[in-house]
Chains A and B, each alone.
Chain A
Amino acid sequence: MAQTLYDKLWDSHLVHVEQDGTALLYIDRHLVHEVTSPQAFEGLKIAGRKPWRIDSVVATADHNTPTTDWDKGMPGIQDTIARLQIETLDSNIREYGAKVYFPFLDKRQGIVHVIGPENGATLPGMTVVCGDSHTSTHGAFGCLAFGVGTSEVEHVLATQCLVSRKMKNMRVNVDGVVGPGVTGKDIILAIIGRIGTSGGTGYAIEFAGSAIRALSMEGRMTVCNMAVEAGARAGMIAVDDTTIDYLKGRPFAPSGKGWDEAVVYWRTLKSDADAKFDHEITLDAAAIRPQVTWGTSPEMVVAVDGTVPDPDKEKDSVRREGMERALSYMGLKPRTPVTDITLDKVFIGSCTNSRIEDLRAAAAVVKGRRIAKSIRLALVVPGSGPVKAQAEREGLDKIFVAAGFEWREPGCSMCLAMNADFLQPEERCAATSNRNFEGRQGDRSRTHLVSPAMAAAAAIAGHFVDVSRTN
């Protein structure tokens, strides 16, 4: 029978299926970070259990780590609660081991969803889990990757399996060619705008179509990263030459004969031509404009040449009240042109948009210019040590610093604002991250989600500008 990519990945990891369809799914790769793992290791310890296959674990500290003062080492972390959490990961890995661990201050440390792919620890055909919802990122490599809670982190540590139920299949086709200045970020925001933040609930989404195939691996990771913002626990993209070219020579990718054999299998990781999807939608790539969120949910998004919507035109009362609440929180008036929205801060980083291509795109906009006087802080936080080093080899750091940006150490930083990087109440930020929820970037913070080029352009102008019409 014809199978979707998701069907193939699911079937190839089934250990056991109960009568009611509850399945034991084998997990190949387990990514671990400091925030969602301490209680899992503790649970293991209390129950007297040993990890099943510790060399499936790739670990790093990213959520809590500071992006400044690395020269001061661990004592540089002022927040003692955060420091204890980071040290707890250190001691858990010391006790239990890992395939590889990139601790705080390591030159290969970085955001867990950046380091997995860049080390070739994420490979096509794998199941990849992590105690983090943005694990969907890794689906860009034709693997089944999804976020889990701490109980499931413990479950995978103890059994190498997850108790799962099969999701439904959805395909989102983006056909055609995107216009200038339109990136993977704009594509996924447009998709979320179309299907809503629960449009993918209960589904695994396969992203397909010529505009998806035309994306680099970085762009594809951005798209899959935010599948969870469309409600889908897993997003994925079929394997092709772009996937294979990216992986060749990565530290944990196979080599020699093993590589050749793997590639033969990896090339089968695509949906069969006549595979059936439970739901399918198609977007016209040419119609997608650079996107800007205006509200407190990623589905509250419009094109940069659009206006803030008017709740009075919304018929559904729950939605209308949601819009009114969001506008009030965001300090915005209906019908305001998006390009009239002025910013206080700019954040370029996160597991959505902190890879080398993202930094290049932002630097290209910034080069030879200065951030607007009204911008209080513009941050660039590379996704990992290797991304930072690559950017510095290319001189991107100098471009950013000359323009007035701060060039920071890698980590999750102001995406979730767990460390010292956060907005003050009512500060408005153009962010390349993935969530614009109330309080996400700090108490009463106001977040607008955009692409790296859009964030960079906003930093220069002090307000949103349409990058498809400049340069």
Chain B
Amino acid sequence: MEKLTLHSGLVAPLDRANVDTDAIIPKQYLKSIKRTGYGPALFDAWRYLDHGEPGMDHAKRPLNAEFVLNQDRYRGASILLARSNFGCGSSREHAPWALLEYGFRCVIAPSFADIFYGNCFKNGVLPVVLKEAEVDRLFHECAAFPGFRLTLDLDKQRIATLDGALSYGFDVDAFRKYCLLNGLDDIGLTLRHADKIRAFETGRRERFPWAFG
């Protein structure tokens, strides 16, 4: 996993609530057995005017000019500003894979669906929960100022405008933060407790043999 410490980037606003993972990456792309190749299909149904299928040359597809990510001012955005319950629905990890491959390192929203939230951390994408009013303010700033950028400091748990005029703190679990700051694979961390897992398993098997049947 690519680590995330400090990041400064252009902000793109996606002004709708309950953006589900089917919208983030449609099911036809889930047939792939790879971890890559999803970026060009991010928000596929909103981003293109035609129907997308795996294997297409996405660069040749007709773009929906109205979709926010297709507007020149948001080209190269790496921070996605979103509304509540972002990432709801399917548990597909292809959603953060697609966001990351497109170039997003951070998604800001008033709330996230639980599974998506966890999946982001596994892939070096930071989901930042801010208060509804703070998110509203960022939507206004984003609309008012072309080129609106934010700087993210994961260690300090703050996200701020470049001039520091707006600066918001956010919460993040210590363990997830540690993994993301250091780009750590948490399987390796878990296996440091292998003896404990083995001991737990032995005890459980004795007590509840049916759970191992």
Contact = CB atoms under 8 A, between A and B. Distances in A.
A154 B185 CA distance: 11
Interface in B89-123: 89-93, 96, 111-115, 118-119, 122-123
Interface stretch (B14-22, B67-75, B140-148, B157-165): B14-22
Contacts of B166: none
A201 B85 contact: yes
Contact of B115 (A84, A147, A321, A438): A147
Interface residues of A, number: 82
A36 interface: yes
Contact of A149 (B33, B118, B185, B186): B118
Contacts of B84: 198, 318
Given A64-B31, A148-B91, A163-B175, A125 B208 contact: yes
A149 B45 contact: no
B173 interface: yes
Interface stretch (B4-12, B58-66, B188-196): B188-196
A95 interface: no
Nearest to A444: B45
Which of B32, B118, B189 counts the most A-chain CB atoms under 10 A from its CB? B118
B85 A15 contact: no
B187 A231 contact: no
Nearest to A300: B18
A26 B30 contact: no
B187 A155 contact: yes
A24 interface: yes
Given A39-B34, A318-B83, A437-B89, A149 B122 contact: yes
A209 B118 CA distance: 32
Which of B89, B111, B176, B200 counts the most A-chain CB atoms under 10 A from its CB? B89
B133 interface: no
Contact of B187 (A18, A47, A148, A252): A47
Nearest to B191: A159
A147 B18 CA distance: 19
Given A35-B30, A418-B31, A15 B197 contact: yes
A158 B33 contact: no
A439 B200 contact: no
A1 interface: no
A451 interface: no
A118 B190 CA distance: 32
A197 B88 contact: yes
Given A133-B90, A160-B201, A198 B213 contact: no
A321 B209 CA distance: 54
Nearest to B30: A35
Nearest to B114: A233
A236 B54 CA distance: 37
Which of A88, A126, A439 counts the most B-chain CB atoms under 10 A from its CB? A439
Contacts of B23: 437-439
Given A26-B204, A38-B33, A418-B28, A133 B91 contact: yes
Which of B20, B45, B194, B210 counts the most A-chain CB atoms under 10 A from its CB? B210
A93 to B, nearest CB: 14
Given A16-B193, A198-B88, A443-B45, A418 B27 contact: yes
Given A84-B33, A126-B211, A198 B113 contact: yes
Contact of B113 (A64, A125, A152, A201): A201
A332 interface: no
A259 B208 CA distance: 11
Contacts of A79: 31
A132 interface: yes
A98 B51 CA distance: 38
Contacts of A262: 208, 210
B197 A22 contact: no
A141 B211 CA distance: 13
Given A22-B174, A55-B212, A125-B211, A39 B33 contact: yes
A253 interface: yes
B213 A252 contact: yes
B41 to A, nearest CB: 12
Contacts of A318: 15-17, 83-84
B3 interface: no
Interface in A1-53: 15-16, 18-22, 24, 26, 28-29, 35-36, 38-39, 42, 47, 49, 52-53
A143 to B, nearest CB: 10
B26 interface: yes
A53 B175 contact: no
B90 A28 contact: no
B208 A154 contact: no
B32 A81 contact: yes
A297 interface: yes
Contact of A439 (B26, B175, B176): B26
Given A22-B174, A123-B211, A133 B89 contact: yes
A24 B190 contact: yes
A16 B83 CA distance: 35
B35 interface: yes
Contacts of B176: 22
Contact of B54 (A81, A123, A253, A417): A81
A416 interface: yes
Contact of A437 (B22, B31, B193, B209): B22
A231 B90 contact: no
Task: List the 8 closest pairs (A to B, CB-CB), nearest first.
Answer: A149-B93, A151-B122, A38-B33, A149-B119, A22-B175, A20-B174, A198-B85, A254-B210
Given A20-B175, A149-B118, 13 more contacts: A24-B197, A36-B30, A36-B91, A38-B33, A85-B32, A159-B194, A161-B193, A163-B189, A197-B85, A231-B114, A321-B15, A322-B18, A416-B22
20 contacts: A21-B173, A22-B174, A26-B201, A26-B204, A42-B33, A64-B31, A79-B31, A85-B31, A149-B96, A149-B119, A151-B93, A151-B119, A197-B88, A201-B111, A233-B115, A254-B210, A254-B213, A258-B210, A439-B45, A443-B45
Interface of B: 15-18, 20, 22-23, 26-28, 30-35, 45, 51, 54-55, 83-85, 88-93, 96, 111-115, 118-119, 122-123, 173-176, 185-187, 189-191, 193-194, 196-197, 200-201, 204, 208-213
